[in-house]
Amino acid sequence: MKKTKLFAALLAGALLSGGPSAMACTNILVTKGASKTGSTMISYSADSHTLYGELYYRPAADYPAGTMMKVYEWDSGKLLGEIPQAAHTYSVVGNMNEHQLLIGESTWGGLHQLVDTTGIIDYGSLMYIALQRCRTAREAVEFMTKLVAEYGYASSGESISVADPNEVWVLEIIGKGTKIVDGKNVNKGAVWVARRIPDGMISAHANQARITTFPLNDPENCIYSPDVISFAREAGLYTGKDKDFDFAAVYNPFDYSGMRGCEGRVWSVFRQVTDRMDKYLDHVTGRNPKNRLPLWVKPNHKLTVKDLAEFMRNHYEGTELDMTCDPGAGAFKLPYRWRPMTFKVGDEEFFNERAIATQQTGWWYVGECRGWLPDPIGGVLWFGVDDAAGSPLTPFYCGIDRIPNAYAVGNGNMTTYSETSMFWVVNRVTNFAYQRYNIIQPDVKRAMDRFENRCFAEQPAVDGAAEMLYKQNPKLAIDFLTDYSVNTAQRLFDTWVALDRYLLVKYIDGNVKKEDAEGVFTDNGQGRGIPAMPDFPGYSEEWKAMVKEATGDRLKVVEATGKK
């Protein structure tokens, strides 16, 4: 997700370099016909080593004529400039507005010479300004592309996911570089292509441009900047026919990291919903750039919010890329690799696998847009903070007018611990689990499933009650949904505080205490708070074999002879 915009060249190498810009995001896009309920859905992980997990909330507002809006770069907080403020802005909760418009992104960098150093609209501002001013996905695509044409695009290459209750689009955009003539950048703006995902299909992107060739005369389903091809010709990037123009190949050509670290994550989703995806293994392992994945696939079953959540928790389990199956997983099958993304042994360089679920996630969501319900009820942002594999989702209806303190902006930050912050308590749990993952993580997963499954079970009743109130007075429904969203999130926070304490007591010092029931620890029979002798699970067989191989006879137990 968030990347400091220095130069696109840095971004292009960030996945492999392991430097301060080494971060990445994953989006999954689901159309109405591909979902079990008929909703559209987008999932998004905002992955960054410096991004704090909090839920942005922007209430609707009215502004007098002539008001200007300051534009700050999302990544750095740097003031880029200002633009005229809209007369009215919509309420936005996270990345969903009150009209069920939902937006996500992933950065791919692209060609370094296309960075516009004069633009004032960065990709983060682009998303959140669109959410405040647009009602539909198509309107948002058109608005965002017009905005950067007028004020300049301050970021590198992006894939942007956009959904409303009826349509799902992917927009890919990159600047045109900096060419100053008479004090102005004559290359201001961006080149871009946007494609509507066909109904019944799903798509995904993960820091690699994915739109290849595209229809040139299908404005209902594909729109693009008038100069997307001609600019490439003028810049010496393309010489072929218009019909053969490949956006991704021209503006974001593959390298090893693009296939292994980016397309691999898309493959990990597609392989779970459709057959014969192993034919792309040579591509996603970085060996064959020509055997690229399709932009979308038809799933073999209808998908739910829970399905998308589990896709976002993936570590390539059950594949040849399974992160628990090599020595890097350590003694406790850890499916994470600490940065940097590559390491050297002698003159040879090796890759630390990068799955969808990753330790540096700031926040993530699965959003669902349901057109058969009034907007304040139909849009639900299932929101989590920190690593998706250890972070439970809680529902926030898009019409709410306040958010809980545990998720509020300003309650802690990446350098300030807050005991009332959901981000920090989730990090306490996940970072504890990382130490003995295959032993502790099952308890974390059980707690996540228990909470989420209760919320999914409650949803029909909550929707129904809100609908009845909405018919009487929409404000009553909004008040009800606000209370439900805030109280449910607070219940989750309290549950996770208790989980943090429970895990410490149960797993202290490498032991595993015996339990009569969950959280009720077996004592030694004397009733004085002394536990029964705990279990000592030790290390995996694979780890013990590796230690034996590495140490030879140094640790071997031998019979004492008594000789001096």
Render 252-283 in DSSP notation, one character per residue.
Answer: S---HHIIIIIIHHHHHHHTTTSS-GGGGHHH
Q: Residue 381 and residue 340: Cα distance in Å, rounded?
A: 32
Query: Which two three-digit tokens encode residue 166?
Result: 């009826």
Q: Residue 353 and residue 322: Cα distance in Å, rounded?
A: 9
User: What is the tally of helices (H) and strands (E) in the chain?
Assistant: 15, 25
Q: Residue 407 and residue 93: Cα distance in Å, rounded?
A: 11
- CA 425, 431, 433 angle in degrees (round to 5)? 105
Closest by CA to 321, choosing from 271, 369, 250, is: 271
Q: What is the DSSP string of 50-100?
A: T------EE--EE--TT-EEEEE-TTT--EEEEEEPPSEE--EETTEETT-
Query: Helix or strand or coil: residue 107?
Result: strand
- CA 120, 124, 125 angle in degrees (round to 5)? 50
Query: Which two three-digit tokens encode residue 554?
Result: 């140094």
Secondary element (H or E) of residue 397: strand 394-397
Closest by CA to 355, choosing from 308, 393, 320, 321, is: 321
243-282 pLDDT tens trace: 999 999 999 999 999 999 999 999 999 999 999 999 999 9
Per-residue pLDDT for the chain (564 aa), expressed as one digit of tens each? 444 333 333 333 333 333 333 347 999 999 999 999 999 999 999 999 999 999 999 999 999 999 999 999 998 899 999 999 999 999 999 999 999 999 999 999 999 999 999 999 999 999 999 999 999 999 999 999 999 999 999 999 999 999 999 999 999 999 999 999 999 999 999 999 999 999 999 999 999 999 999 999 999 999 999 999 999 999 999 999 999 999 999 999 999 999 999 999 999 999 999 999 999 999 999 999 999 999 999 999 999 999 999 999 999 999 999 999 999 999 999 999 999 988 999 999 999 989 999 999 999 999 999 999 999 999 999 999 999 999 999 999 999 999 999 999 999 999 999 999 999 999 999 999 999 999 999 999 999 999 999 999 999 999 999 999 999 999 999 999 999 999 999 999 999 999 999 999 999 999 999 999 999 999 999 888 899 999 999 998 989 999 999 999 999 999 887 665
Q: At what angle do helices 474-507 and 422-435 cross, to 10 degrees?
A: 30
Q: Residue 294 and residue 297: Cα distance in Å, rounded?
A: 7
14-55 pLDDT tens trace: 333 333 333 479 999 999 999 999 999 999 999 999 999 999
φ/ψ of 35, rounded to 5, equals: -105, 150
Q: Residue 530 and residue 491: Cα distance in Å, rounded?
A: 31
Calculate the alpha carbon distances from 398 to 214, 304, 468, 482 in Å.
33, 18, 17, 9
DSSP secondary structure code for residue 414 in this structure: T
